[in-house]
Structure 1
Amino acid sequence: MTDNLADADMLNYARTVADKVGENDRVMHQLRNNTPEQAFLGDFPQAVDDAVMGSSEAHQNQMLQILSNPQVAQGFARVVFDMLLNKGNA
């Protein structure tokens, strides 16, 4: 656990960052065609940093939209509700 973050929180954040890095064709080409050691010498580390920084801006924007618009908040809460119910059935 890292400063009040559960392991699940870190894994969820890693998935978010991985999804964003996965959109970078150049980095994905490097990952598929090199050893991990070689990939870490390429564009991968910078892509991770960029994804972390971008996720902060994206989460801030999403938070503001959810908190400032009751319809968006209700829709978001419904998605979370459905995810939680489906999690129990998985």
Structure 2
Amino acid sequence: MLEPTPYQARPLDASTWDAFAELVERNNGILGGCWCISYHPECGRHGISHREAKEDRVRTGRAHAALVLDEDGTAQGWCRYGSPEELPNIKHRRVRRSR
């Protein structure tokens, strides 16, 4: 019989944004300030705040991820997913060029 787990998966949305933001900040912005917009179209644009861009995508339903929350509600991990239109830069450059 499986033991109950103290973890739960929740979608990243407006209700879980604060938990996600705390996770990112606890980990130095994920890769030094990326806020995980590297695969989104706005990545690389000068003068934008990665945090604000990610929050806008989350609050408007244009970024998708699953958060893993512990029993205290603290995010311990996450996984991003989305369509190629949402994440156009997710494939390796060689794959993108060969299309």
Instruction: Give yes or no for TM over 0.5.
Output: no
Q: TM-score, normalised by structure 2?
A: 0.24
Q: Pick 1 or 2: higher relative contact order, CA cutoff 8 A, min separation 6.
A: 2
Choose between structure 1 and 2: higher strand proportion: 2
Choose between structure 1 and 2: higher helix proportion: 1
Q: TM-score, normalised by structure 1?
A: 0.25
